[in-house]
Amino acid sequence: MTNTPSLFHRPALAIRLANQVLVVSAGSAASSGVFLAAPRRTGKSTFIREDLRPALLAQGAVVVYADLWANPTAEPGSVIVNAIRAALASNEGVMLRLAKSVGMDKLQLGAMSFDMDRIGLGSDVSLSEALVALSDETGKVIVLVIDEAQHAITSEAGIAALFALKAARDELNSSSHHGLRVVCTGSNRDKLAMLRNSKDQAFFGAPMVNFPVLGREYIDWFCEKVNLPFALDPEQIWPIFIEAGHRPELLGAAADLIRFDFEVDAETGPQLFISHVRHLAAEMNQVLLSVIHSLTPIQSAVLRVMAACEPEYAPFEAATLEKYRQALMRAGIPEAEAKADIPGVQQALIALQDKKLVWRAARGVYAVEEKNIVDLLKAEGLIEQN
């Protein structure tokens, strides 16, 4: 018996996507970058690491992977820079090129190592120069995958990194080099779109596509591999999977509950599994609802108005302030006390960020953290209509 968990692979999707990334047809904007949006916890990052990355490598690309969600407290610009540094450090020829570019000769190289801190934003070697060296040394297309890329615009350094990558992309996609493709993934389509919807963004015009969620093939595989004391019928599990938002972790958690229930039997087991999936999904929503119901009246009003107005939400406009006031009155606050001023809204937005309900870009754009928060507000009848 192996201790390595079994993984569901989607090789056909990986090959198709790798081809779309690497082979840019006439008139295509894919060389500007490709943006893949899918809800969180639906298998996107696993696919990127376990399927897309190997498919790109198999087609001769150099793959650089930066996960901006792995450590949410890390500065996103630094995460991108460090991922590029790690790719450079594994190639001795590239390091020699970079050392020479900053005036180090072979004798100096033998006596001391090249300091990787010299590569990065505002450093001796720019990201563009570093990636050009990697392209020229390897003779391959470089594919930079940024997972949860929307976090890059939550800091000025992250924004600077994106524009540095734009400069590198423009240089490497010229006839002098071998090409740079940037693949950005995100769990919130509206937030991810901020990286490519306006002319002042680094990847303006890059195609945005919805990443396919796990389908029926996954359920067939899961039911075959789950290794429970009884069989699961894919015909019964598939609708429950849809109901659970295509989140494989809920099926895995339900299976674990069954494995540690030593009194379960084959007759009642399948229905108990389905009950566990539903309970776990409801439990996740209940935790979130508890946070929402603990908000102060102004915090609740701001969240509900934001959810109703996205993506045109403008937090401090007079019309939005009036919407907060109306939301407060609908929540039972007397008209004389239903006040929403800019300082109060600012404090509410800070509190909502701390509670992980709201996300803020570095330049003052706000959005609801995840789509399921909006869905819950609608289901509870809490969302304010325009």
What's the Cα-to-Cα distance from 44 to each of 211, 240, 336, rounded to whole Å? 8, 20, 49
Residues 375 and 262 in one domain: no
Determine the average pLDDT of the residues in 226-252: 95
What value does the mean pLDDT of the chain take? Answer: 88
* pLDDT confidence tier of residue 3, bands split at 50, 70 and 90: low
**319: Cβ contacts below 8 Å, ≥ 6 apart:** none
| Owning domain of residue 70 | 11-210
Q: Do 49 and 113 fall within a single domain?
A: yes
29 pLDDT more than 70: no
**SS3 state of residue 378:** helix
What are the tens digits of pLDDT across the range 125-137?
888 888 998 998 9
Smallest CA-to-CA distance from 323 within 311, 307, 346 is with: 307
168-226 confidence digits (pLDDT tens): 998 998 888 889 999 999 988 888 888 887 777 778 888 888 999 999 999 999 999 99
Mean pLDDT of 272-279: 96
Give Cα 69 distance to the centre of its chain. 7
What does the pLDDT read at residue 4? 57
Q: How far apart are CA 298 and CA 304, in angstroms?
A: 10
Domain boundary among 210, 225, 260: 210
Residue 112 scores a pLDDT above 80: no
Residues 68, 148: Cα–Cα separation, whole Å: 6
- pTM for the model: 0.86
Q: Are residues 374 and 260 in the same domain?
A: no
At residue 104, the pLDDT reads: 59
| Local confidence band at 105 (pLDDT 50, 70, 90 cut-offs) | low
- What average pLDDT does range 10-15 have in this prediction? 96
* pLDDT average, residue stretch 116-144: 86
Do 138 and 237 fall into the same domain? no
List pLDDT tens digits, range 63-86. 999 999 888 889 999 999 999 999
CATH number at residue 39: 3.40.50.300
The burial of 21, by beta-carbon neighbours within 10 Å (0-12 exposed, 13-18 middle, 19 or more buried), is given as buried
**Which residues contact residue 10 at a Cβ distance below 8 angstroms, ignoring those fewer than 6 apart?**
47, 51, 217
Residue 308 lies in a domain: yes
Give the span between the Cα atoms of 55 and 61, in whole angstroms.
9
Q: Decide if 287 contacts 303 (C-beta within 8 A).
A: no
Query: What does the pLDDT look like over 343-359, one tens digit per residue?
Result: 999 999 999 999 999 99
Instruction: Examine residue 6 and state whether it is found in any structural domain, yes or no.
Output: no
Q: Which of 165, 190, 210 is the last residue of a domain?
A: 210
Residue 109 has what pLDDT?
A: 45
Please indicate, yes or no, whether residues 245 and 140 belong to a single structural domain of this protein. Answer: no
Higher per-residue confidence, 318 vs 109: 318
Percent pLDDT > 70 in the chain is 92
- In whole angstroms, what is the distance from residue 295 CA to residue 254 CA? 31
> Domain count of the chain?
3
Q: Residue 369: is its pLDDT beyond 50? A: yes
Closest CA to 215 of 241, 188, 251, 253: 241
Hey, what are 251's tokens? 């099926």
Tokens 């008139």: give the residue. 27
Give the lowest-confidence range in 112-116, 149-153, 194-198: 112-116
Token pair, residue 29, equals 């904007």
Taking 80 as the threshold, does the pLDDT of residue 102 lie above it? no
DSSP 183: E
3-state class of 128 per DSSP?
Answer: helix
